Amino acid sequence: MTKPTSPAPAAPAVSAAAHSSNFIRNIIEDDLRSGRHHGRVATRFPPEPNGYLHIGHAKSICLNFGIARDFDGECHMRFDDTNPAKEETEYVDSILDSVRWMGFDWGVHLYFASDYFGQLYAYAEMLVARGDAYVDSLSADDIRAYRGTLTEPGRDSPHRSRTPEENLALFRQMKAGAFADGAHVLRLKLDMRSPNINLRDPVIYRIRHHAHHRTGEAWCIYPLYDYTHALSDALEHITHSVCTLEFEDHRPLYDWFVENLPVPSRPHQYEFARLNLTYAVLSKRKLIALVEGGHVDGWDDPRMPTLVGVRRRGYTPAGMQLFCERIGVSKSDSWIDMSVLEQAIRDDLEAQAPRATAVLAPLKLVIDNLAPDHVEACSAPVHPHHPEMGRREFPLTRELWIEREDFEETPPKGYFRLSPGAQVRLRYGYVVRCTGCDKDSDGRVVAVHCELLPETKSGTPGSDAVKVKGNIHWVSIAHALATEVRLYDRLFAVPHPGAGERDFKLDLNPHSKTTLTAYCEPGLAAAVPEQRFQFERHGYFVADLRDSRPGVPVFNRAVTLKDSWTKN
């Protein structure tokens, strides 16, 4: 392994919000000042390719790649692929895609721990030859029993006293495939009485007769996480190895490997608090259970907290980066409220999403003083604050769809929309006066009638002479694009799914998905997959990546316009 010398990764396509400082950045600044690591900054993002990335990973991605970006360093994309039974190329591809989608680029620094299997094995032989590691033949259960507990010291394995020669012979036979899974393991010879359980002769190699997604049948022994991780960092000249707090107690072991093997660099591990998000679960194990149990429509279901899921949901990379900036990085565990994520997405979309009209719960409005064949162009700004984004056009005709909730036969106090005798503005069109409604035999309103007031067309001189308090959106029935719209709510009904011993699946929100047919302004037929819009009054929507067809986009609601969960 030679020292990576390639240029830093390219700047991300998405501009991040100005980063706020955090304790890890402070450490790096100190290290740069003191000349530690010779002024280099190299971080890494090391997922195991055994599932799809989730929002928790986004925090780690933004932290690691963000540091590389801001300190002119490099961030390595490294797959920690040491468990052949659980890992698949499909996950590798999806993870790479998600990191790229988040706006980051590893440049030439794409690595796989499995690329180091040869070197890791050579180091292990050194440990064995030196008497620092031994082959143990206890069963997995016995190893656990001998390990002791937090309050009881462990006991030495009867095989701990094997000679280096015996160990080397056995270890080589393990590698050669002479033994079945579980027959032997290689353990570090540290201290079975250490108060830190991680130092009680940790297992560093195990036998696993299973094809590996990259090395195929080449190996039947595989190194374990702690060993592989520390050494991969050192081999890649990582300077700051940032991981979540649960690895704090593993740091002495990390340091042991780095200090006791002839590795080419001295990385250091730092721990930060993982992201916990309310109304969500962020654990691959639980996410797998949701997919396999059919509780969601796959990994990229827009309700899933996976990065492929939030992407389909319409969340933006910049919004995700903004969220990660806002939550910061600290050393104490806490819960972040889902509304913080939703607000970041809203704030990002508000500034850029083109506006459009969609009627989600249609009721017919008939303008009785327009001819049946009347078609008149109306227009509106694509974005109210960005005139440079241009205008959009849509036709006004005699029959329109309006929202059912925009008519009340007997309006409650303070209701400013349509009711018999009331006047409202058809947004970007004319003021109309309501003249009555038609009902079916059950008394249900099936159409509303009105008259258009001439000289009130939006944007024409004197159009605002008639003052109205209500402003409603509409689409021409003859021209509307009828298409599927999915409204999503939080996947879980409670902030802490599975709290206590409870099965987290019992906390699923049964109303997390509503599918309906909406009537959209005709221009939306040209929406391309992943194009995002604000549907006025309804929130931010995205043309679904998977189900949209040319001319017939299907829309997913990313987020409502306001936080509807916080009580006011």
In the complex with ligand ATP, the residue whose CB is nearer, 126 or 288, is: 288
Helices (H), 35-139: 55-70, 89-101, 117-130
DSSP structure class, residue 410? S
Judged by CB under 6 A, does residue 66 bind ligand ATP? no
Judged by CB under 6 A, does residue 57 bind ligand ATP? yes
Smallest distance, ligand ATP to C-beta of residue 197, A: 19
Query: Counting Cβ atoms within 10 Å, is residue 15 exposed (0-12), middle (13-18) or buried (19+)?
Result: exposed
CA pair distance 486, 545, nearest whole angstrom: 13
Judged by CB under 6 A, does residue 282 bind ligand ATP? yes
Judged by CB under 6 A, does residue 229 bind ligand ATP? no
Judged by CB under 6 A, does residue 280 bind ligand ATP? no
Judged by CB under 6 A, does residue 56 bind ligand ATP? yes
CA pair distance 88, 51, nearest whole angstrom: 8
Residue 152: Cβ within 10 Å count: 9
CA pair distance 146, 157, nearest whole angstrom: 7
Virtual CA dihedral for 212, 218, 221, 226, nearest 10 degrees? -60
Residue whose Cβ sits closest to ligand ATP: 56
Residue type, 257: F
Q: Is 274 a catalytic residue?
A: yes
Judged by CB under 6 A, does residue 243 bind ligand ATP? yes
Smallest distance, ligand ATP to C-beta of residue 99, A: 11
Which of 284, 303, 311, 537 is an active site residue?
284
Judged by CB under 6 A, does residue 281 bind ligand ATP? no
Judged by CB under 6 A, does residue 324 bind ligand ATP? no
Q: Is 155 a catalytic residue?
A: no
CA pair distance 320, 151, nearest whole angstrom: 43
What is 59-85 written as a DSSP string? HHHHHHHHHHHHTT-EEEEEE----TT
In the complex with ligand ATP, the residue whose CB is nearer, 59 or 532, is: 59
Partners of 95 in beta bridges:
none
Residue 13 φ/ψ, nearest 5 degrees: -65, -30
**DSSP-derived 3-state class of residue 123:** helix
Interface of this chain with ligand ATP, residues 245 to 274, rule: CB under 6 A: 274
Residue 438 φ/ψ, nearest 5 degrees: -105, 145
- Asked if residue 279 lies in contact with residue 504, where contact means CB atoms within 8 angstroms, the answer is no
Smallest distance, ligand ATP to C-beta of residue 173, A: 31
Of the candidates 244, 260, 435, 463, which one interacts with ligand ATP according to CB under 6 A? 244
Smallest distance, ligand ATP to C-beta of residue 94, A: 12
In 318-444, where do the E strands start and end?
335-336, 355-356, 358-359, 362-367, 376-381, 391-396, 399-403, 423-426, 431-439
The dihedral built from the CA positions of residue 241, 326, 335 and 561, taken in this order, carries a sign that is negative
CA pair distance 9, 75, nearest whole angstrom: 7
Residue 347: Cβ within 10 Å count: 15
In the complex with ligand ATP, the residue whose CB is nearer, 335 or 460, is: 335
In the complex with ligand ATP, the residue whose CB is nearer, 71 or 91, is: 91
Judged by CB under 6 A, does residue 60 bind ligand ATP? yes
CA pair distance 260, 237, nearest whole angstrom: 16
Of the candidates 189, 284, 486, 557, which one interacts with ligand ATP according to CB under 6 A? 284
Smallest distance, ligand ATP to C-beta of residue 254, A: 13
Q: Nearest Cα to 323, choosing from 313, 334, 337, 312?
A: 337
Which range of residues in 123-131, 280-288, 323-331, 372-380 is near ligand ATP by CB under 6 A? 280-288
Q: Is 29 a catalytic residue?
A: no
Judged by CB under 6 A, does residue 336 bind ligand ATP? no
Of the candidates 263, 275, 432, 448, which one interacts with ligand ATP according to CB under 6 A? 275
In the complex with ligand ATP, the residue whose CB is nearer, 236 or 406, is: 236
Which range of residues in 147-155, 230-238, 277-285, 339-347 is near ligand ATP by CB under 6 A? 277-285
What is 253-278 written as a DSSP string? HHHHHHHHS--S---EEEEEPPPEET
Residue type, 260: N
Q: Nearest Cα to 222, choosing from 205, 200, 201, 247?
A: 205
Which of 36, 48, 125, 266 is an active site residue?
48
In the complex with ligand ATP, the residue whose CB is nearer, 80 or 406, is: 80
Smallest distance, ligand ATP to C-beta of residue 73, A: 17
Smallest distance, ligand ATP to C-beta of residue 51, A: 7
In the complex with ligand ATP, the residue whose CB is nearer, 46 or 66, is: 46
Which range of residues in 57-65, 295-303, 343-351, 385-393 is near ligand ATP by CB under 6 A? 57-65
Which range of residues in 23-31, 55-63, 251-259, 541-549 is near ligand ATP by CB under 6 A? 55-63
Of the candidates 25, 37, 40, 59, which one interacts with ligand ATP according to CB under 6 A? 59
Interface of this chain with ligand ATP, residues 538 to 567, rule: CB under 6 A: none
Interface of this chain with ligand ATP, residues 29 to 48, rule: CB under 6 A: 46-48
Q: Nearest Cα to 471, choosing from 346, 354, 357?
A: 357
| Residues at the site binding ligand ATP, with contacts judged by CB under 6 A | 46-48, 56-57, 59-60, 243-244, 274-275, 282-284
Residues annotated catalytic, as ranges:
48, 274, 284
